[in-house]
Amino acid sequence: MCDPGADLLVTRLVYAETWTRQAARETGNLLRIGAALRMLHSLPLRPGIGRVSFEAQAKFLEGQLGATGSAQPAVRRLAATAFEILAGREAIVALCHNDLHHLNILDDGDRLWLVDWEYGGCGDPLFDLASFLCQHGSTHEERQVLLSAYAGDVAIPIDLVEAACRAFDYVQWLWYRLRGANHPGDAAGHSSRAEAISQRLLSGPVP
């Protein structure tokens, strides 16, 4: 189905349910999303897929915010350190979704479907893990279940996971601040979300 006037294109209809925030924190589903991400990140990269850099996105958003982008220097220092940690390892590039909150996960009872690929592209797979962990407020135990399902016996250094979470949260923080500045009618909600993220960043590593 195609309706250009409504900017709508449906190429395949999937009979499935969207996850709830609670469903995204259940052990069985953490195992499933970990396995799904492992499969996603093992897919061969095809020509023409754009590269996604969270560091470049952070710089772009900072520029859009202008003078206000320098607010809360402590948050910016945390982000800079996080990006330095991630840059210090051997580069890993995979096909990534980059916006893994529960509303973008469909469950047909047999398999999971990841939808809304607006931010998808070739990038660092750690940011898919960080996206899921940050957007659902995952506990230490939930994080361990997800990482074990994803990596198996190959442990992911915790400092890299924490750095990816801080960097992801920083980009989120900038995005909500910019949305608040550009959409006055929704400014209160975006400001509240940005404040919650900044508090999480300043409080320390992922629980």
Q: Inter-axis angle of helices 158-182 and 187-203, to 10 degrees?
A: 160
pLDDT at 189: 82
* 54-66 average pLDDT score: 92
Residue 58: name the closest of 71, 67, 69, 74 by CA. Answer: 69
| For residue 173, pLDDT beyond 90 | yes
For residue 160, give Cα distances in angstroms to 4, 157, 166, 190, 199. 43, 6, 10, 28, 20
2 is a domain residue: no
Confirm whether 145 is domain-assigned: yes
193 lies in some domain: yes
**Does pLDDT of 166 surpass 60?**
yes
Summarised one tens digit per residue, pLDDT across range 28-57 is: 999 999 999 999 999 999 999 999 999 999
15: three-class secondary structure by DSSP: coil
Q: Scanning the structure block, which residue is given the tokens 């990596």?
A: 151
Q: Say if residue 182's pLDDT is above 80.
A: no
**pLDDT tops 50 at residue 207:** no
- The count of structural domains within the chain is 1
C-alpha neighbours within 13 Å on the C-beta side of residue 154: 3
Which three-class secondary structure state does DSSP give residue 35? helix
Note whether residue 97 is domain-resident. Answer: yes
In a domain, 9, yes or no: no
- Residue 146 exposed, middle or buried by CB count within 10 Å (0-12, 13-18, 19+): buried
Tokens of 87: 């840059």
Report how far residue 139's alpha carbon sits from residue 9's, in angstroms, rounded to the nearest whole number. Answer: 37
Name the residue with higher pLDDT: 203 or 187. 203
CATH of the domain at 173: 3.90.1200.10
Which of 18, 14, 38 lies closest to 148 in space, CA to CA? 38
The CA–CA distances, whole Å, from 12 to 2, 118, 153 equal: 11, 17, 36
Sheet of 112-114, strands arranged across: 17-18, 105-107, 112-114
Is there a domain that residue 10 lies in?
no
Residue 202: pLDDT above 60?
Answer: yes
Query: 101: domain range?
Result: 15-203
How would residue 171 be classed by pLDDT, with cut points 50, 70 and 90?
Answer: very high
What does the H/E/C string look like for 90-121? Answer: CCCCEEECCCCCHHHEEECCCCEEECCCCCCE
In a domain, 36, yes or no: yes
pLDDT of residue 206: 52
In a domain, 53, yes or no: yes
Across the range 151-164, mean pLDDT stands at: 90
* Average pLDDT in the chain: 90
pLDDT at 116 over 60: yes
